[in-house]
Amino acid sequence: MKRTTIDFWVGLFALMGAAALLFLALKVSNQGALPASSTYTLTANFENIGGLKVRAPVKSAGVVVGRVTAIELDTERYMARVTMALDEQYRFSRDSSAEILTSGLLGEQYVGIASGADDKTLGSGDSFKITSSAIVLEQIISRFLFSKAAGDDNTTMEK
Amino acid sequence: MPDLLVDFEHVSFAYDDKAILQDISLQIRRGQLVAIMGGSGSGKTTLLRLIGGQLLPDAGAVRVAGSNTRELSEAALYQLRTRMGMLFQFGALFTDLSVYDNVAFPLRERTDLPESVIRDLVLMKLQAVGLRGAATLMPHELSGGMARRVALARAIALDPQLMLYDEPFTGLDPISLATIGTLIRELNDALGTASVIVTHDVAESLALVDYIYFLADGRIIAAGTPDEVRASPHPFVAQFINGRPDGPVPFHKPAAPYLRELGLEP
Amino acid sequence: MGNRFVRLCQSIGAPLTARIIKLGFACRFLLGILRHSPAAFARPQLLAREIWFAGVLSILIITVSGLFVGMVLALQGYDTLQRFGASSSLGILVALSLVRELGPVVGALLFASRAGSAITAEIGLMKATEQLSAMEMMAVNPMARVIAPKFWGGVISMPLLAAMFSATGIFGGYLIGVPLLGLDEGSFWSQMQGAVDFRLDVMNGVIKSVFFGCAIALIAAFEGYDAPPTAEGISTATTRTVVTSALVVLALDFVLTAFMFRGV
């Protein structure tokens, strides 16, 4: 095998490998978390975060504006503190609210931000004043069942 | 340049616990063509590897061109090997390189010569073994004798001071055998090298060499010039030279008495 | 009783000691390769030949297998997903399984049997025909001239081949999903892109395949170097390369996966 032939094939091999990686990078995957330089941090306290995970998206009006970077338990108030990194170009008023929503009935959970009307905006490190927790399906179901059961009991008692 | 090229001083060597060589002392000088003879498994090839520094002695000292192989660093050992050439039993040509590239290999790897000079040197070496016409062939296209001649050209590419031959006559037809034998003698005299031939080919080497060491069970049991060896009264040497099946090296491997094993005797 | 215990210990101990000795030799061998690697990288031609040998010659088997694995994944996945009305997630299923697991692992298994066995056979044959020894006697270190380039040729080829496997696999999944099963092309790609993270999924897959490449190349070169210089020795060594590589790749995959995707 001549050297130029080998070089040709090895070059082609490298090109194919690079093309495959590029395909995986551009067509198959997203670049994930926004670059650290152009983000600012906000926190929100929730009574219950349900199944929210680190790296879950933060959306406002359905548009992804950031990612959840950390979730921890505040042991003073026993609430979950969710830290998120938001894109620098999106600013939210100080009376915005954060809630934990589910995409679809059984889809992944994300943080939704509904903007308020205040002129002043939240800066880095600030936290949302108004939050609403995740809807936990089991609680809803059990509440429904309990009320139903209580109603049934009442009717039997009456009889 | 020291005249004494190989100097073994009470050398012993063992693989694991199996002793291969015991208390070997021998000297090989410049211009000498020395044969090491002995039966299969007598430690002949090990002795060559000790000279090449591929193995190190367990006891005693191996000095090659004045330096003790045990005391050399890896780099110094490789430097020493540029002054040695070795012909392997079946040539050991690189199967993926042509004859030309095989001979050019040590020159390309160990020298900074320009390609035009390398070309001249390769053709010279191939001419010396009579195979300049085979330069473009691949090793699998060569006969056994030709492969060994190419390997010889490759071994002398760096103009060594010490040539080592591992069984150079094995498996050759009489013509090739005579060719290799003549080449070894001529190269030795023309280049002024010392040569060590490990062989069990009696007739060919007695006609060729200056001095012979006999090796049996890892020890040197006899040594001398071809004439001394022919006249040797030593029973092993006599058996070896004349090729008798039975003697100090028995025909039968030690076993229980024959008749008893057949059940004819209690 | 005591005697029998001693014999039991010996029967367990002797092969174990032999294995440990072999492992120690392999570690020394790896250090030798690393020590001579600068010399190998100083000569790109040698490296190019080995990348050709290990990588280029494996392209066909890798891409064809990738294509079929992707197509099968799509067929099987569609069958399961549509029961839950989630057939539009087919792209996610195909891409994630290929990029995270199947690309690196199946790619490595194929690589071990195609290139690993060839490396073992070539080194083993060079040893059996005394070519390595001859090289040593020509004052050329076979570690730097033969073994280290072969090792790095394998290490470099593996991640590229794994990426090709994943890429052709995803393409195979697309072929089945969109033209054949009639999924929407836009949602196939966009859902996939939304769910696959470059750093977390693609890069972790690449990192895995680098580890697998190192393991396979080391096992292959070592088995060849350690093989008894006989025809039987080389054939056993070749088999051992494939078997050991497969086991090591799967074990390593478990360890790496546990590290990478823990708690995410």
The residue count for chain C: 264
For C123-136, b where at least 16 C-beta lie within 10 A, e where not — what string? Answer: bbbbbbbbbbbbbb
The domain defined by B31-54+73-248 carries CATH number 3.40.50.2300:
no
Mean pLDDT value across residues B239-246: 76
C151's tokens: 């090792």
CA distance B210 to chain C (A): 25
Q: If you average pLDDT over each of A48-52, A149-153, B48-52, B205-209, which comes out highest? A: B48-52
Chains that touch C (3 or more CB pairs under 8 A): A, B
Which residue is closest to C144 within chain B, CA to CA?
B109
For the stretch B135-168, pLDDT in tens is 899 999 998 888 988 998 999 888 888 999 988 8
Mean pLDDT value across residues B33-37: 89
Q: How many domains does chain C have?
A: 1
Q: Do C56 and A9 touch (CB under 8 A)?
A: yes
Interface of C with B in 98-157 (CB under 8 A): 125, 129-131, 133-134, 136-141, 145
Determine the pLDDT at residue A159: 43
Residues B246-249: contacts with CB under 8 Å, at least 24 apart: B249/B39, B249/B216
Q: Do A30 and C49 touch (CB under 8 A)?
A: no
**Does the beta carbon of C56 lie under 8 angstroms from any beta carbon of chain A?**
yes
Rounded alpha-carbon distances, angstroms, from residue C138 to B47, B243, C135:
18, 35, 5
**Does the beta carbon of C17 lie under 8 angstroms from any beta carbon of chain B?**
no
Q: Per-10-residue mean pLDDT for chain C, 264 residues long?
A: 75 81 89 91 90 93 96 93 86 92 95 95 93 90 92 95 96 93 87 85 93 96 93 94 96 92 60
Weakest-pLDDT range from A30-39, A44-53, B114-123: A30-39
The 3-state DSSP class for residue B83 equals coil
For the stretch B107-144, pLDDT in tens is 998 888 999 999 999 999 898 888 888 889 999 999 88
Residues C253-260: contacts with CB under 8 Å, at least 24 apart: C253/C101, C253/C104, C253/C105, C253/C208, C253/C212, C256/C207, C256/C208, C256/C211, C257/C100, C257/C101, C257/C208, C260/C204, C260/C207, C260/C208
Residue recorded with tokens 């067509």? A27
> Which residue type does C20 have?
I
Mean pLDDT value across residues B83-93: 88
- Within 10 Å of residue B235's Cβ, how many Cβ atoms? 13
Mean pLDDT value across residues A48-60: 83
CA distance C45 to chain A (A): 8
At residue A153 the predicted structure's pLDDT band, cuts being 50, 70 and 90, is low
Determine the pLDDT at residue A151: 66
At residue B1 the predicted structure's pLDDT band, cuts being 50, 70 and 90, is very low
Domain that holds residue C138: 2-260
For the stretch A72-125, pLDDT in tens is 888 888 888 899 888 888 888 888 888 888 876 666 788 888 888 888 888 888
Name the pairing type of β-strands B59-64 and B219-224: unpaired
CA distance C209 to chain B (A): 30
Residue A157 has pLDDT above 80, yes or no: no
Partner residue opposite B110 with nearest CB, options C129, C136, C140: C140
- Which of the pair, C134 or B245, is modelled with greater confidence? C134
What's the CA gap between A154 and A147, in Å, rounded?
A: 11
